[in-house]
Structure 1
């Protein structure tokens, strides 16, 4: 079937459905409302079962992801505040106030053993 004949088929089906809905609405509107309410209740029960039974199992895997997202947001918020403080400091410097010097970090270099050869006798 090509696309035009498919569109025509869909239009015919939707038209017949609309005529049937209008006919039922005119002849027996209470039955139609009962059917709609019945299907709505069934759909609600299925949704609640899915939400409470299956989402708890799926949600366990997302806890690590959610924790990482929170940590990332905190890190980017810290960066934004640092950028704002740097721009604020530059403005103050232009006004004549001096920037405070950062304290030198106390880092030590730990010598590794990359250059030393292993004693092959002790395997």
Structure 2
């Protein structure tokens, strides 16, 4: 029963916000710019606190594992480059292919299941979904 009450309330708050924004824009645009600057500074401050204080304590082990995986990947790449100079694997693989036999088996056709029937149900009835 709450949903019918919440929707008009949200629209009302958005409408009041638009009216307040327009009023501030007309009467004193400098205050509007100052408020936008405060919001921008708050977002930057929040990001820096998250980046340098909260995040490093959570992901120290993950960063070490990532650095180790990168080193292992680079070592494997170097080993592949050294090995590829000795023998070209692509030409080796292409020369050892088996000849394709001309007598191939025909593909089986899919059987029709005549014992299965379609049961028609209530197609027109849809679920009553009430989303916000």
TM-score by length of 1: 0.54
Higher relative contact order (CA 8 A, sep 6+): 2
Task: Tell me the equivalent position of 1:30.
Answer: 30
Q: Aligned partners of 1:39, 1:2: CA distance in 2, in Å?
A: 32
From the superposition, tell whether residues 6 and 94 of structure 1 become closer, same or farther in structure 2 (CA, over 3 Å).
same
Task: Tell me the equivalent position of 2:94.
Answer: 91
Task: Identify unmatched segments of 5+ residues in structure 2.
Answer: 80-88, 99-132
Task: Tell me the equivalent position of 2:2.
Answer: 2
Task: Identify unmatched segments of 5+ residues in structure 1.
Answer: 79-84, 96-123
Task: Tell me the equivalent position of 1:63.
Answer: 63
Task: Tell me the equivalent position of 2:51.
Answer: 51
Q: Aligned partners of 2:4, 2:72: CA distance in 1, in Å?
A: 51
Q: Which stretches of structure 1, 4 residues or more, deviate above 3 A after TM superposition?
A: 67-74, 87-90
Task: Tell me the equivalent position of 1:17.
Answer: 17
CA distances 1:67-101 after superposition (whole Å, capped 9, x unpaired): 56547867x989xxxxxx4x753321249xxxxxx
Q: Aligned partners of 1:94, 1:42: CA distance in 2, in Å?
A: 66
TM-score by length of 2: 0.51
Task: State the secondary structure of the residue aligned to 2:96.
Answer: helix
